[in-house]
Structure 1
Amino acid sequence: MKQEVEKLTKWLRHKVEEAGANGLLVGLSGGIDSAVVANLIKKAYPDHSLGVIMPCKSEGEDEKHAKEAAEASGLQTVKIDLTQTHDTLLPAIEQQLKEGGLYEQGAQQLADANLRARLRMSTLYTVGTHQKYLVTGTDNAAEWHTGYFTKHGDGGVDLVPLVHYTKGEVREMAEYLGVPDSIIHKQPSAGLWEGQTDENEMGTSYDMIDRYLKGEEIPEEDKNIIDTLHNRSHHKRQMPAAPPEE
């Protein structure tokens, strides 16, 4: 694991130098993936790295864990509360849709959740522009394969250092890096609505996805769920579609 961490920090430095940037930032959600990335960017750029905490009608525990992750890694943070922005923008959009006869009640929860993720992405890039920092993503191999991220939200980043690591490997890295146990062992959740958890939303577990990615045998039901998630999220892992050149 020491070699993996050294390899990643070296890669992060190379990408920053390649881009002519000054350093790195990450959105701190209070989850294990962002806590690991916090440690990595702090190691890569001790004096030019930043964690951005962005509550948006969030659970208080998430912000508490985000602060714990920052303190444990020594990462400087800034808090930008997006609740008021979200409370202004979402109703305005919905009102205009209703007036135009375009509002669909069944789409409200997902539209709300994705707007929160995209507000956070916009915030990270605004902060990054001020500091000339690259935005570092937190998606792991399981999330990337299944498309468990918001397009142009938490998937809208410059770098994805954990994209080749399973959730289990990220957990091992977190333990090596000294991420607080309260974060390592919490139930994975994007915190996009009350009671939401990653595994309930996906319909399978990270353990099953990890085993699948390693080529191990898993129940057919879980395999079908993972394949379906992967196939329908294909567009998320691609550049915007364009017609072929003539």
Structure 2
Amino acid sequence: MKTPIFNAKAVTEHIVLWLKNYAEEAGVKGFVIGISGGIDSAVTSTLCAMTGLPTLCIEMPIHQAPSQVSRGQEQLNFLKNNFKNTHTALADLTETFDLFQKAVPQENASTETLRLTLANTRARLRMTTLYYFAGINHSLVVGTGNKIEDFGVGFFTKYGDGGVDLSPIADLLKSEVRALGVHLNVPSSIVQAKPTDGLFGDDRSDEDQLGANYDELEKAMYNKDQGLTSSDLTGRDKEVFDIYERLNRINQHKINPIPVCIIPEKLKK
């Protein structure tokens, strides 16, 4: 796999202009984005701030690991120190999440199923919160998913972090997002941190959940796009390719648009 040339300056300018034009055409005031302490939300929030439009960054902790909270705070301080159009808000959803758990039955679900379902519930509570803030501020909810997550392995929650109005970095690989982070002077602690979805209240990484890191998954995506199959590969390349193919297959319901049952006209008459 060849390392592509990446023009971070040109890509930055393109995304910032795209964001600004989209907001102006939609007739909204600005943007709302959730801050997690990860590179994707850090880069996306910085790009939004660079438009000059009001950018509201929301912290939404739910039994959050201290390291994630501190990185999120570092990003918020970076934004406030560099962009006067940036504002912040805190919506601590821990109590809301705990109340939800008490309100729904849990005894009929396996431990693993319950764990994953509650993790997705966290993401959906955050989506609802972002749309609340977007509504009262006449703004758009901005997604932070990258290309591998959104179109490769489907590593996001449907109607959670996948529930957004627009996705400025969804055509960028994780390595390209990191390159943008360096270019934008995002705090190094965020650029260098192991990616995590922060949905389990601990420090488990995306790699722990996926079984491969993003650089490996990018290579698998490249191999797939080149028409290679599992039988063409060996060793770790084959192992990660199989992981990528499996996740891509089982998450098509998230990657593809919602299917619509088309009714033949003759049946309507």
Which bracket does the TM-score occupy, shorter chain normalised? over 0.9
The aligned residue for residue 257 of structure 2 is 239
Give, in whole Å, the separation in 1 of the partners of 2:137 and 2:256: 28
User: How far off is 1:106 after superposition?
Assistant: 3.4
Matched, 1:127 2:145: no
Do the aligned partners of 2:221 and 2:244 also contact (CA within 8 Å) in 1? no
Distance 1:87 1:21, change over 3 A: same
Q: Give me the CA root mean square deviation.
A: 1.6
1:18 to 8, 11, 25: 25
Which sits farther off after the overlay, 54-63 or 119-128? 54-63
2:198 to 191, 204, 219: 191
Which sits farther off after the overlay, 206-215 or 3-12? 206-215
Matched residue of 1:163: which SS? coil
Give, in whole Å, the separation in 2 of the partners of 1:187 and 1:68: 16
Do the aligned partners of 1:72 and 1:178 also contact (CA within 8 Å) in 2? no
Structure showing greater Rg: 2
The gaps in structure 1 that reach 5 residues or longer are: none
Q: What is the identity, as a one-letter code, of the residue corresponding to 2:145?
A: D
Give, in whole Å, the separation in 2 of the partners of 1:183 and 1:67: 11
2:71 to 41, 65, 82: 65
TM-score by length of 1: 0.92
Give, in whole Å, the separation in 1 of the partners of 2:256 and 2:194: 29
Identity rate, percent:
34
Give, in whole Å, the separation in 1 of the partners of 2:181 and 2:134: 25
2:213 to 202, 205, 209: 205
The gaps in structure 2 that reach 5 residues or longer are: 1-7, 81-85, 227-232, 265-269
Do the aligned partners of 2:31 and 2:55 also contact (CA within 8 Å) in 1? yes
User: How far off is 1:209 after superposition?
Assistant: 1.3
TM-score by length of 2: 0.85
User: How far off is 1:47 after superposition?
Assistant: 4.5
Do the aligned partners of 2:173 and 2:218 also contact (CA within 8 Å) in 1? yes
Counting only pairs closer than 5 Å after superposition, residues 43-192 of structure 1 correspond to structure 2 as 43-44=50-51, 46-74=52-80, 75-94=86-105, 98=107, 102-144=108-150, 145-192=152-199
Matched residue of 2:50: which SS? helix
The aligned residue for residue 41 of structure 1 is 48
Do the aligned partners of 2:147 and 2:171 also contact (CA within 8 Å) in 1? yes
User: How far off is 1:35 after superposition?
Assistant: 0.3
Question: Across the two proteins, how many residue pairs are aligned to each other?
Answer: 240
